[in-house]
Structure 1
């Protein structure tokens, strides 16, 4: 079981490591120290559900319902574009730190809805977790161990990202750093949205 767990952990971690909409949002909330535990837990559980579905053999959903991928792709692109524009506007206004200084903390409901949208409206999440991890797990006799390893990596990654962001707090004590982060987040979101439309 142990070799399969290590393989699943390594594959999942390598896939999730690349910066994306979900990771950028968790990082931002970690720096703001807002709803970190709930967001990290939601991301990790969502990944675990998708990984479980992939390993259990539900990676054929896109083949069974061809429209599903198109709806998810364009829906995700619209949402990412909206969030990118919001990030650019926040940067123009002085950065997220200005919101925090003004007491404009995001509500738990708003934060949860945002991270759920980043997770479940992103077709790449399905390709990475359901399709890719699901298909590779078929190569292992111990698929359960592989799935446990892959799920564990999501928990390790998201909680490390969310709470590890505090190490960067001294850098983000300056409003300019928040403005730069908001611009970077906006660029990442727009790039992913564009990629979804032209893929």
Structure 2
């Protein structure tokens, strides 16, 4: 059981860390201290839900609807591209503009919807959580322990991003540092959008 748990922790953690769009968004919210725990909670919940669905065989239904993945792919390209443009605009204007607009902070609902979009509009998320994770989990002595390990990885990782980004906010939110962070986030979002657009095949 312990071996299955650790395997799930490692496999789940590796896949979650590799999904850059989620990480970049949660970290940016944490640095702003703008409903970052809500954003992290949505990512945790989505991962655990998808891991669980994958272990219960929803992956077969997913692969039977390739058109749905194709639609998600292009929605993801447009949405991530839009987030990239926003990040580049923030980087060009600097922290002073952000502070001047502090009164216009987004609502919890707005952050939740954006987090859901960043999470669910990336078809590779489904391939990872509904196909790859169950494929490894099916080979473990304890599927339940493996699922618990993969779920723990999500909770630990996004909890660390939310806490770490918030704790480091006084340093990370300095004007020059903030511009660099926004620039990096913009590049990451644009790169992921470009990858989705160019890699038409979503076969695992």
TM bracket, shorter-chain basis: over 0.9
Q: Deviations over 1:75-121 (max 9, x none)?
A: 111100111111111212224x6324532322111111111001011
Which ranges of structure 1 fall in alignment gaps of 5 or more residues? none
The residue that corresponds to 1:55 in the other structure is 55
Alignment of structure 1 residues 48-87 onto 2, 5 Å: 48-87=48-87
Which ranges of structure 2 fall in alignment gaps of 5 or more residues? 200-204
Q: Bigger shift: 147-156 or 134-143?
A: 134-143
Paired with 1:156 and 1:173, the residues of 2 have a C-alpha distance of 24
Paired with 1:146 and 1:65, the residues of 2 have a C-alpha distance of 27
Q: CA RMSD in A?
A: 1.5
Paired with 2:25 and 2:60, the residues of 1 have a C-alpha distance of 29
Q: Count matched residues.
A: 198
How far the C-alpha of 1:181 sits from its partner, in A, is 1.0
The residue that corresponds to 1:23 in the other structure is 23
How far the C-alpha of 1:125 sits from its partner, in A, is 0.9
Q: Are 2:113 and 1:113 aligned?
A: yes
Structure 1 runs, 4 residues or longer, greater than 3 Å off: none
Determine helix, strand or coil for the equivalent of 1:161.
Answer: helix
How far the C-alpha of 1:166 sits from its partner, in A, is 3.0
Paired with 1:79 and 1:49, the residues of 2 have a C-alpha distance of 23
The residue that corresponds to 1:90 in the other structure is 90
How far the C-alpha of 1:21 sits from its partner, in A, is 0.9
Q: Deviations over 1:11-70 (max 9, x none)?
A: 111111236111001001111111122111111010000000111111123321120110
Paired with 2:177 and 2:38, the residues of 1 have a C-alpha distance of 25
| TM value normalised by structure 1 | 0.93
The residue that corresponds to 1:102 in the other structure is 101
The residue that corresponds to 1:133 in the other structure is 133
How far the C-alpha of 1:187 sits from its partner, in A, is 0.7
